[in-house]
Amino acid sequence: MTQPRAVTCPSCGGSIEIRAAGYTVTLGCRYCGSVLDVAHEDVRLIKAYRRAVKNFAIAPGARGTLFDVEWEVIGALRRRSAESGDWQEFLLFNPYSGYRWLVLAGGEWQFGTMLLDRPENGPRSVSWRGGDYVRGDSETATTVTVLGEFYWKIARGDEARATAYTRGAEVLSCESTADETNWTQLIPLDDSAVSAAFAVERKFVGAPQRRARRNDTDDLPMMFLFALIALLAVGLVQELVSRPRVCTESTSEIIVGAPSFTTRIGTLEVRRAYQFVTISAISSNINNRWIDLDYSLVNRQTQQSIDAYGLIEYYTGTDSDGPWTEGSTSAETLIASVPRGTYDIYLDGGAHGWPNDPSVTVKQVKPDEWTVQTSADAENPWAPPEKVTVWFTACTGGFSWGMFWLIGFLLFAVPGAMLWWRHREDD
Amino acid sequence: MESLTCPSCGAALPVRDPGLPYSTCAYCQTLVRRAEGTVEAVGTVAVLPADVSPIQIGTTVNRDGIAATVVGRVRWGWSDGSWNEWFLRAADGRIFWLGEAMGMYMLTCEYPAVLDVPGIRNFAEGNPMARDCTVKAGGKWFTATDIKDAACLGSEGDLPFPTLPGWTMTNVDFRNAAGDALSVQRDAQGTTAWLGAWSDLAGLAPGNLRQIEGWTMPRALV
Amino acid sequence: MTLRLKLFTAWCLFLVATSGVASYYGWSLFADSASTSSSSGGARGPTHK
């Protein structure tokens, strides 16, 4: 009868020793976080979880002396309310002295003793053992995580209505559920007293986290809102700051299958130290064709050239899933960091067919005149060659969507990671 | 004091209280009925599950004029847990129950007068007890807070009723703001009522507590 | 306002300022410079299926 009772977690198979044998009813598995009913010889799984519960200031199993009595931490709870954020509660046990509570809220510790007698109700206060306790706020406390042993049935998501009555630094906490009402006397405990008694995780030592933890639940929606506002601001700033915007337009006809040819599509003046230059190309209706667009910005003073490329490609077909299309008939090219100066914009363009180029015959009629013929139409080898028309607009300034989305990712990554982390802790 | 042996295994059967009819053999779990110097085996009691209770047979308590010694124990199980009821006798033959739950204790003596209260008489006749039922006992008002159907999980020592597997009872706990306790129990033998108070262990001024492995007894309790 | 919300606000402002400076100098990580081009010469086609 003196050997300790050990149970096997039906969810993960881990072996757990029960410290308060005979009293313990619910057990939160320290290996997988599953909540077990150990009231009877046959252990039953109340709810399975798959991740060990962590991040408690004191690990269950720790022993320490408070008020001249040695206590063992046998259970730990994380609870939450909309008003107070998160806090932790530790169940202390000594077989000769019964149960006590250690509460860590807002970086401050309290020692709790359940009352055997009840305070007497007044309108705005209660009286208990000759003292008046003033009624404070009520809140709904929800149990978020459960680890270790408890002498009553408990589960994640349990809710209790908690009201605090204060008299100086002493608090009487009244918690009621549908089944019962419990009163607990809470007295403040020095950080150093708790640290001297138990091994307290370093990040929970000291009180400066008070405010931050209080509003733990509240600032995350604000972060998402700020991130959204910042992203809109980034869009606006990118649009306005990249100005002035001056444009030049032209049109070219490109013969499909012919060797690439070079033409000047306009002149632009970059009026600031550096600017984007954006060239957009929109083609006439093409199908199963691609158009290579190699641009060169040649500085009139220095004759130095900045090269960039664009590509228009558009394909259609039909397969077992039905008709498909791929690509688009337009392309936008963003040229970064173009220094101040006047630039001639040259295009080296060529259009091609897929899967094959139409076969093309090129004849030099005069020194600078060419005739081009395609024989795509076998019936009519002298039909005019296939041409595509491309409209170009080249402008100074521009909007880098790549930068916009990169910054958007960096903005939302912070609150997103916090949300994910919180969700992970809650599981 | 007469000396008896277990009819099943032959081990010595200590008689702590000759007035009690039932005793559990500590070696073979046989439940023995004693009557007029004879012993008779009536069945086998379940082995008590391990627990860390600081009470044991032989523990003494002294509170509110009650000085008594533990002579037996029943362990009751209900759907959401279990608890110990320790059976005590005083030198003058009076009997008491010491209920043990949540690390707290309820020391009670029999209080038959409350059985005449209509709500409790109704319960004694086999009807369910209403929660929040209010009764007056010993000049104090009580409210029913806890109604449990319990089954015997095991026993040890000397007891007034047979604790064989299948022995069941319905227990109603009444409480009040002052920490007083009233317990009404209905089983196959009838209904009894017990009046007392909640206390922590130190409040019982206990003696001869069980030494629990891995724990030192607080100095105040030695 | 919590400390971490203040820090996050500073982070937002930093990113907005960075994007402003980058736009002013026409700087982008995602420009279509010729060096990464696979344009002239190579045959192309749909990557469907």
Q: Is the pLDDT of residue A365 over 70?
A: no
As beta bridge partners, residue A344 has: A267, A298
**pLDDT category of residue A180 using cuts at 50, 70 and 90:** confident
Average pLDDT score over chain A: 86
Closest chain B CA to residue A71: B215
Q: Is the pLDDT of residue C40 over 60?
A: no
pLDDT at A220: 84
Chains B and C touch (3+ CB pairs under 8 A): no
Q: Is the pLDDT of residue A199 over 90?
A: no
User: pLDDT tens, B133-164?
Assistant: 888 888 889 988 888 899 998 889 888 888 88
pLDDT at A345: 95
Asked if B50 lies within 8 A of A68 by C-beta distance, the reply is: no
Per-residue CA distances from A301 to A279, A298, A306, A307, B127 (Å) = 22, 9, 13, 17, 108
Q: Is the pLDDT of residue A1 over 60?
A: no
Q: Which residues of A touch C44 (CB under 8 A)?
A: 290, 311, 313, 352, 354
CA neighbor of A109 nearest in space, from A149, A169, A25: A169
**pLDDT category of residue C10 using cuts at 50, 70 and 90:** very high
Query: CA–CA separation, A385 vs B132, rounded Å?
Result: 99
**pLDDT category of residue A216 using cuts at 50, 70 and 90:** very low
Q: Is the pLDDT of residue B70 over 70?
A: yes
Q: Helical H runs in chain C? A: 3-24
Nearest-Cα distance to chain A for C4, in Å, is 8
Chains contacting C (3 or more CB pairs within 8 Å):
A
Residues 134-193 of A with CB under 8 A from B: 151-153, 180
**pLDDT category of residue A148 using cuts at 50, 70 and 90:** very high
How many residues comprise chain B? 222
Q: Is the pLDDT of residue A391 over 90?
A: yes
Q: Which residues of C touch A315 (CB under 8 A)?
A: 45-46, 48
* Mean pLDDT within B93-107: 90
Give me the percent of chain A exceeding a pLDDT of 70.
89
Q: What share of chain A is helix, strand, coil (3-state, %, to 5)?
A: 15, 50, 35
Asked if B81 lies within 8 A of A152 by C-beta distance, the reply is: yes
* Threshold 0.95, pTM exceeds: no
Among C7, C16, C38, which would you mutate to test the A interface (most chain A Cβ atoms within 10 Å of its Cβ)? C16
Is the CB of B190 inside 8 Å of chain A's CB atoms?
no
pLDDT at A211: 41
Give me the percent of chain B exceeding a pLDDT of 90.
30
List of domains in chain A:
5-216 (no CATH), 221-241+405-426 (no CATH), 247-398 (2.60.120)
If one counts every other C-beta atom within 10 angstroms of the C-beta of residue A240, the result is 12
Q: Are A404 and A227 in contact (CB under 8 A)?
A: no
pLDDT at B10: 83
Q: Is the pLDDT of residue C1 over 90?
A: no
Q: Are B153 and B76 in contact (CB under 8 A)?
A: yes
Q: Is the pLDDT of residue A377 over 60?
A: no
Q: Mapping DSSP to helix (H, G, I), strand (E, B) and coil, where does residue B150 land?
A: strand
Q: Is the pLDDT of residue A2 over 70?
A: no
Place of tokens 């073979």: B28
Is the CB of B176 inside 8 Å of chain A's CB atoms?
yes
User: pLDDT tens, A4-56?
Assistant: 678 899 989 989 988 898 889 999 999 998 999 988 888 888 888 888 887 89
Residues 56-75 of A with CB under 8 A from B: 68-70
* Phi and psi, residue A422, nearest 5°: -65, -45
Chains B and A touch (3+ CB pairs under 8 A): yes
User: pLDDT tens, A240-298?
Assistant: 999 899 999 999 999 888 888 899 999 999 999 999 999 999 998 888 899 999 999 99
Q: Is the pLDDT of residue A215 over 50?
A: no
Nearest-Cα distance to chain C for A307, in Å, is 5
Asked if B50 lies within 8 A of A20 by C-beta distance, the reply is: no
For residue A252 the two structure tokens come to 């070219």
pLDDT at A335: 93
For residue B131 the two structure tokens come to 């929660």
Q: Is the pLDDT of residue A217 over 60?
A: no
Residue B43: in which H helix or E strand, if any? strand B38-44
Q: Which residues of B touch A99 (CB under 8 A)?
A: 102-103
**pLDDT category of residue A218 using cuts at 50, 70 and 90:** low
Closest chain A CA to residue B48: A1
The domain locations on chain B are 4-44, 60-204
Q: Which residues of B touch A70 (CB under 8 A)?
A: 215-216
Is the CB of A33 inside 8 Å of chain C's CB atoms?
no
Show the CA angle centred on residue B146, arms to residues A122 and A37, nearest 5°: 115
Is the CB of B211 inside 8 Å of chain A's CB atoms?
no
Q: Is the pLDDT of residue A214 over 80?
A: no
Nearest-Cα distance to chain A for C14, in Å, is 10
Query: CA–CA separation, B199 vs B107, rounded Å?
Result: 8
**pLDDT category of residue A210 using cuts at 50, 70 and 90:** very low
User: pLDDT tens, A310-361?
Assistant: 999 999 888 888 899 899 999 999 999 999 999 999 999 989 888 777 766 6
Q: Which residues of A touch B101 (CB under 8 A)?
A: 23
pLDDT, greater one: B69 or A425? B69
Q: Which residues of A touch C23 (CB under 8 A)?
A: 237-238, 241-242, 276, 400, 403
Closest chain B CA to residue A22: B51
Among A86, A226, A278, which would you mutate to test the C interface (most chain C Cβ atoms within 10 Å of its Cβ)? A226
Residues 10-29 of C with CB under 8 A from A: 11-13, 15-16, 18-20, 22-29
Asked if C31 lies within 8 A of A334 by C-beta distance, the reply is: yes
Pairing of strands A108-114, A181-189: antiparallel
User: pLDDT tens, B179-210?
Assistant: 899 999 999 888 999 999 999 998 999 988 99
Instruction: Give the nearest partner residue to A25 out of B50, B80, B103, using CB atoms.
Output: B80
Query: CA–CA separation, B218 vs B201, rounded Å?
Result: 11
For residue B48 the two structure tokens come to 């008590």
Q: Is the pLDDT of residue A104 over 60?
A: yes
Query: CA–CA separation, B218 vs C13, rounded Å?
Result: 60
Query: CA–CA separation, C3 vs A100, rounded Å?
Result: 34
Q: Exposure pattern of B99-114 as b/e (b: 16+ CB <10 Å)?
A: bbbebbbbbbbebeeb
Q: Is the pLDDT of residue B92 over 70?
A: yes
Instruction: Give the nearest partner residue to C23 out of A242, A290, A326, using CB atoms.
Output: A242
Q: Mapping DSSP to helix (H, G, I), strand (E, B) and coil, where does residue B205 land?
A: coil
